[in-house]
Amino acid sequence: MDLTEFFHMGGYAFYVWTSYGIALLVLLANVIIPARQRKKLLAGIARSTRRARRTT
């Protein structure tokens, strides 16, 4: 089957691709958020360690 047929999904293109699109968003979000959070945490800990070392 050719590419246009594939995207057409027998007339159900909106439903199928919206579903898969939302799935992609949800899965991406759940990976990106912890990744960012880890970086933020490490930065925060580094800051407070530096601060503590400066005052001791």
Partner 1 sequence: MNFFHRLSSPKYFYRFAGRLLPWLAAAFVLFTLAGLYYGLVVAPPDYQQGDSYRIMFIHVPAAWMSLFIYMVMAGAGAIGLIWHIKLAEVFSISSATIGASFTFLALVTGSIWGKPMWGTWWVWDARLTSELILLFLYLGVIALHNAIDDKRTAARATAILAIVGVVNIPIIHYSVEWWNTLHQGPTVTKFDKPSIHLSMLIPLLLMAVAFKLYYALVVLMRARCEVLERERNTQWVRELVE
41 binds partner 1 (CB under 8 A): yes
For residues 12 and 6, what is the distance between their CA atoms, to the nearest angstrom?
A: 11
State which of residues 2, 31, 54, 55 lies at the interface with partner 1 (CB under 8 A): 31
* Residue 7 Cα distances to 4, 17, 19, 25, 41, angstroms: 5, 8, 13, 19, 42
30 binds partner 1 (CB under 8 A): yes
State which of residues 10, 54, 55, 56 lies at the interface with partner 1 (CB under 8 A): 10
51 binds partner 1 (CB under 8 A): no
